[in-house]
Amino acid sequence: MARFKVTCLALVAMTLVYSTTLCVAHPVGFNFGWGWGSPGGNGGHGGNSGNGGGGYPGLFPEYYQFSCPQANDIVMSVLHKAIANNPRVAASLLRLHFHDCFVQGCDASVLLDDSATISSEKNSGPNKNSLRGFEVIDEIKAKLEEACPQTVSCADILALSARGSTVLSGGPNWVLPLGRRDSTTASLTGSNRNIPAPNSSLPTLLNFFQRQGLDEVDLVTLSGGHTIGVARCVTFKQRLYNQNGNNQPDSTLERSYYFGLKSVCPSSGGDNNISPLDFSSPARFDNTYFKLILLGKGLLTSDQVLLTGNVGKTLELVKSFSDDEGLFFQHFAKSMVKMGNIRPLTGLKGQVRKNCRRVN
């Protein structure tokens, strides 16, 4: 009995880099070498993706089991307080992990402040006056440095915070591979180039995700992160007043929703006014985001084109997720692990920052 358990855990540790599938679901006797099956993982997507195609141990869920067993508890206690105080914190932290991973991998490059050697990603078009939650990350880091000095990386804090924020908002939990290390560099140009704009077409969105080793299922699934949080008028105003350069609104916007949005976002000024991405339950992680898209009530162009963009099977996925919240949750867990595996620094690469805002 005990022996089975240990074996099972070991399998989980070794396989979860690629998959969230439970250990009992794995066929016995699979190949332990590099390049074994990675259903739904990053394998096979080419050089820029995943954890580099193998050749090093990569990430595993028990990474801090001995060095800082209380790591996740510390993260969760800070999150619990911060989110109870302001539910939007959950959304902001989920987004931070996304904006970290899409720029030179999940290496906490997004957290570095401007300095003599760093051009901070915080000043990029997609991030400036937009990314939030840095103080919460600072608080988590300070508590972790107290408990386990120079042990838990800022990149792992972002991944743990994204998961914890999802769970505390009512969403799915997942087994999270850990062991990312922190970059000593940031890429302002990478941030400007790799994070898709909210007025992107569906082919553009697919292209940006494919560059990270993520497919159309990941795109639709991870866009479901917009079930929580808000967006500023400046990110969707084009849809209200001049979607196609003809001074007309986006025809895919449902009428009453359109009028509501216009009352929040005047044609001039008000760029920093905000509207929920999922107005029916903006603090609840659920599948209403997809239900709203079906009703023509997606907030961003990038949300609505998942239904109307007419490429691939994104329309079918939106329908499936709006019908079946459990299916969405399963996919979200899996795609978050996949996104979290984008080009991490491991082994001797990078460092574990003492302060997430600067290199050691």
Asked if 293 touches ligand HEM (CB under 6 A), the answer is: no
CB of 303 to ligand NAG, least distance (A): 15
331 annotated active-site: no
Chosen from ligand HEM, ligand NAG, none, partner binding at 229 (C-beta under 5 to 8 Å by type)? ligand HEM
| Listed ranges 139-147, 219-227, 255-263, 308-316: which one lies at the site for ligand HEM (CB under 6 A) | 219-227
Cβ atoms of 269 and 204 within 8 Å: the answer is no
Asked if 197 touches ligand NAG (CB under 6 A), the answer is: yes
| Residues in a beta bridge with 178 | 60
**98: number of Cβ within 10 Å:** 19
Chosen from ligand HEM, ligand NAG, none, partner binding at 211 (C-beta under 5 to 8 Å by type)? none
Asked if 11 touches ligand NAG (CB under 6 A), the answer is: no
Q: What part of residues 228-247 is at the interface with ligand NAG (CB under 6 A)?
A: none
Annotated binding site for Ca(2+): 100, 103, 105, 107, 109, 121, 227, 278, 286
* DSSP run (H or E) holding 89: helix 88-101
| Whole-number Å distance between alpha carbons of 158 and 336 | 12
| Whole-number Å distance between alpha carbons of 284 and 153 | 28
- The string over 42-51, giving b where at least 16 C-beta atoms fall within 10 Å of a residue's C-beta and e elsewhere, is bbebeeebbb
Chosen from ligand HEM, ligand NAG, none, partner binding at 72 (C-beta under 5 to 8 Å by type)? none
Q: What part of residues 196-215 is at the interface with ligand HEM (CB under 6 A)?
A: 196, 198, 200, 205
Choose the catalytic residue: 45, 97, 99, 331. 99
Cβ atoms of 206 and 312 within 8 Å: the answer is yes
How is 16-76 classified by DSSP, letter by letter? TTT----GGGSPTT---STT---TTSSTTS-TTSTTSSSSS---BTTTTTTT-TTHHHHHH
Asked if 199 touches ligand NAG (CB under 6 A), the answer is: yes
- Selected from 79, 136, 188, 222, the binder of ligand HEM by CB under 6 A is 222
Asked if 252 touches ligand NAG (CB under 6 A), the answer is: no
| Listed ranges 57-65, 74-82, 86-94, 254-262: which one lies at the site for ligand HEM (CB under 6 A) | 86-94
Nearest to 202 by CA among 101, 277, 303: 303
Active-site residues: which are they? 99
Applying CB under 6 A, which residues contact ligand NAG? 197, 199
